[in-house]
Amino acid sequence: MTASAHISESRARNLGDSLPPLVVQAERIAATVMMGSHGLRRAGPGESFWAYRSYAFGDSTQRIDWHKSAKSDETFIRDNEWEAANTLWVWANLGPRMAFKSHLAEETKRQQAEVLALAMSALSLRAHERVGLLGSGRRASYGRHVLPQLGASMNEGNDGVLPRPATLQRRSTALLVSDFLEEPEVIATALKALAESGMRGHLVQMNDPAEESLPYEGRVEFVGLGEALRFRANKVAALRSSYAMAFLEQREAVRAIARSIGWTFTVHHTDKPLTSTVLALYHLMGAR
């Protein structure tokens, strides 16, 4: 394990009660994923100035900007923008559908979607990349203050409607986490607009296992998000096969949309650990 991994783990363990629990959980997942893994794209050799940041253990003293440091009590590193430096825009669906939790899972889809988005943000921030909230209208930024801000503002104006393209910074990547149960035409329109703006992207479909398997027996009444939508099945097991087929058809339609615009598609079930999905995304984003 590297020294930076020890530092990251210690920092994640000692965040305390000053940060929202979801942010603390995301930091811990990010620290776990970083152990033994190579970093994502980061600041590095390049021709264009990117930003100043505080000197940290492991930094070369040759990169210290003595002129900037002389004006402050801190020692500053001058980072240039590496060719692969990236801006990550995250969005998690926080609409009413995401509040669902069956007896097969311990957390709602919304809780896991938020933590996953924040964990990926934490990994990007540790790689000195900019992170922003897609659809918020705010600029992406970097630094220790960004993750708590994201955690506090993720639900602002977020009613589950797929986001529109943001004011982009160079080399932008989008991460969208949702159940993606809208009509495929609606999803295609929103995603193509993001892709045409120049974004690369990754989709994570967040599903409760009961949504996929319909593991109920006997007479069951299904209640929609609106009171007018109700359906009573006298023998729900008889619906299981056709339901599962329709659900998988929806998933494959979204997967095909992602493939058509050159984006990746990953599925996460809320009864499974988030760490494995975050690790898979970490390597996907690093490779691209």
pLDDT tens-digit readout, 69-96: 888 888 887 766 544 457 899 999 999 8
The amino acid present at 118, given as its one-letter code, is L
pLDDT for position 8:
44
Distance CA 152, CA 134 (A): 14
Most confident of the ranges 132-141, 155-164, 218-227: 132-141
Non-local (6+) Cβ contacts of 111 within 8 A are: 22
Question: What average pLDDT does the structure give for the chain?
Answer: 80
CB contact burial 51-82 (16+ within 10 A = b; e otherwise):
bebebeeeeeeeeeeeeebeeeeebbbbbebb
Quick: pLDDT tens for 9-63. 444 444 444 456 778 888 888 888 876 454 444 444 444 555 677 877 666 777 7
- Tell me: pLDDT of 228 over 80: no
Quick: pLDDT tens for 94-149. 998 999 999 999 999 999 999 999 999 998 888 888 899 988 878 888 888 888 88
Run of H or E including 49: strand 49-54
- Tell me: pLDDT of 160 over 60: yes
Distance CA 151, CA 118 (A): 7
Domains of the chain and any CATH numbers: 49-80 (no CATH), 87-287 (3.40.50.410)
Distance CA 71, CA 246 (A): 64
Strand partners, 194: none
